[in-house]
Each structure stands twice: as structure tokens, then as C-alpha cells.
Amino acid sequence: MFCDLRTDQVLDALPLSDVALEDWIGKPGTASATIPIPNRALAQRARAAIQPGRTAVWVERGADVWWGGVLWTAALASNERGRLGLQIQAGGWATYLEHRTLFDTHEAKATDQFDIVRGLLDYAASAEGGDIGIEYDAEQLSGVLRDRTYRRYDQPRIGELIEQLANVEDGFEWRIGSHRDPGSGRRVKQLHLGHPIIRTGATDIVLDHPGPLLAYGWPIDATRQATAWQARGASDNRNQAAESVPLLSDLIVADDEIDAGRPRLDGTSDHQTVTETNTLAAYARANLAAAVHPRTIPEVTVALDRTPISPALLGATVRIRIHDDWWTEGLDARYRLVGLAISPPLRGRPETAKLYLEAT
């Protein structure tokens, strides 16, 4: 379904081929497809409906809304036989916030971090033409209070501010999902927040290999590990006579890891808008905690017609059972679903979904 981004008025429902989409917790999803243009009539419809930056895309599977986002690019292509196709690319609703800037200073004192997020969304929606209908639960709280000052001189992107807030120590997860309201049937753009993580579903999704779990990949990677961390903040320009140097956090070292025999591995991060020492220290602690034991994100590929998987299950628990030459003793473990990518069917291969998992 192609709709007006601001009003959600339906513009057209066009045939698609090669539809692929992905959705994540913690970063915006994407969708791509090709609109075949076999005749002049369909070309006129596509020209009217496809307006990058102004058109919303909703992907439906049966009666359910699976994905939604903003159409950002379109490319017309003609093959050697003169057949036309319009290739489109869309980003999840959160990508809209990457195109919105904070032009006014925004302050929060001892404010729940979820309220800070909602305040940023309200700021974006308050501008003329800035309300695209993102909804949220106004009562949900994380219980973590923050002090934040966002300066208009920095001209930060609103999506970047939310991401930075989520990634600090004792932060949260967020995504803007799409679903159909069961009562009214209308399409909904919904902000989901979870502290410390987003969880959905009441029962495990069981996947067996051999079985519906067709293939898997299991990364074993130390390139992102660190046992010491220092964060760098904004430059101090108050004394014009002195050299301008950035604010630095204390160097934090995971002494217990080094005492246990691990080598010293250093990590740094830049937070150029942070002017408070306490905030910078919180970033450093969070970054080190993530880098000491980086998350392993296994990926498994399933046949979509043999599993009850959909983007609505992001945050659900998946039970993986594998028995092969590597897992000779058998793997039976639970993971959280944090991302999925759906690939169109190919000749001889059914429609599949690649699931990205996180240890629980």
C-alpha cells in the first residue's frame, strides 16, 4: 500500500516483485522491491503514487500489516528488451527522525528517559508538516531519571539523540513498529520502548535443525572486544587563551578480566555533544560493559511457510535445537529475536526469513 506520509491517505496499491524487507530492535529496518511497468496505464499510476520523501509504504501479508516506512528512493530501469521496472527503497519510520533536526534548546531535569524520548517526538510533530502520526504509550516509564540539555547550536538530529540516550548506561531499547489496530482496522505507527530490553510473546518459538531451520551462521569474533575504555566529549572553549581540548572520562579498566588472563584491549568512543562529566562516564561504563563480552548474534534461516515468524515477534524468545557434526552433543538454547530479514522466493527455493538472535 502506498499512502501519503502525513495523512496516511491511500494513493495506490501497486503490484510488486522481488520484495525484501528487514526489521530490527535498535535500528531502523529497510524494504526494497521492484514495481513492474508493463504498460502506460501502470506507469501513470506509479508516477502519481511514488514520491520519495512524501510517500509511505505499508507491506501487508494476508490481513496483517508486517512492515511500514518512508519511501526514500526510486530508480527507473529498462532492460535490453525495453521492459521497465521501478526499483524502490524505503526505510522504517525511525529513518524519518534522522531527517529531523532540533533547532531549539531542549532541557530535561530529573526526567524519566522514556519521557525525554516522547518529548523529542512531540517536538518533531509540533512543527508544521512534521507530524507523521507516530503513536506512543504516554504512561510507560523506565524508572531511570536523566538530566539532559540539547543545545540548538549543535543542530542534532532527533533520531541520533534518541539513539545516544538509549545507549548510555542503564539505557533502553526502542523501535517504531507497524501493525493493524484490531478494533478499527487502521494502520498504526507505534513507538515501542523497553527497559532494559524489549520482550514480546508469552511462549517460546521452537526451531529445529534439521527441520524448519534450514541453515545457520554462528560468528566467533573478538575484533570488537575491549578490556579498557575512555570516552571523549565536547571541547571546552570557555577559556579562549588556552588550548581547546575535549572533555575526557576516566580511563576505565576491567581489572577482573585482566587478572583472569585476558590481554589489555583498548577502546574509545566520541560523544561530541556531551558536556557533563557524569554523563560521559556513564557512556564509558556502558561501552566497556558491551565490549568486554560483545554480543554474539547468531543468524538462522527458516522457511517462512513453516514457521510462525513475523516482525511483530521481535523481542520474542526463540528456542534453537541443532544436532550436527559441530553440535554433536546437541544444542538446545534460548535466544531473543532482535532482527529479521525476509527474502523473496527464488527458483527452487521458498520464501525465507533470516533471524538474528541474541543470547538471553
Where exactly are the structural domains of the chain? Answer: 2-92, 97-194, 205-220+296-359, 228-292
What band does 239 get if pLDDT is binned at 50, 70 and 90? low
pLDDT in tens, 278-324: 999 999 999 999 999 887 788 999 988 888 889 999 999 999 999 99
Q: Angle formed by the axes of helices 158-166 and 113-126, to 10°? A: 170
Q: Considering only the top CATH level, what class is 205-220+296-359?
A: mainly beta
CA 39, 45, 47, 51 dihedral sign is negative
Nearest residue to 171 via CA among 199, 201, 145, 200: 145
Q: What is the mean pLDDT of residues 16-23?
A: 92
- At 240 the pLDDT is 61
- At 55 the pLDDT is 98
Listed in sequence order, the residues at least 6 apart from 124 whose beta carbon sits closer than 8 Å to its beta carbon are: 97, 100, 130, 131, 158
- At 241 the pLDDT is 62
Is the pLDDT confidence value at 275 over 90?
Answer: no
Pair 28, 94: CB distance under 8 Å: yes
Average pLDDT, the chain: 93
Pair 207, 300: CB distance under 8 Å: yes
Nearest residue to 321 via CA among 216, 245, 225, 249: 216
- At 138 the pLDDT is 97
Pair 299, 355: CB distance under 8 Å: yes
Q: Indicate the CATH number for domain 97-194.
A: 3.55.50
What band does 350 get if pLDDT is binned at 50, 70 and 90? confident
- At 238 the pLDDT is 60
Q: What is the mean pLDDT of residues 13-36?
A: 93
Is the pLDDT confidence value at 91 over 90?
Answer: yes
> Which range has the worst mean pLDDT, 178-182, 193-197, 244-248, 329-333?
244-248
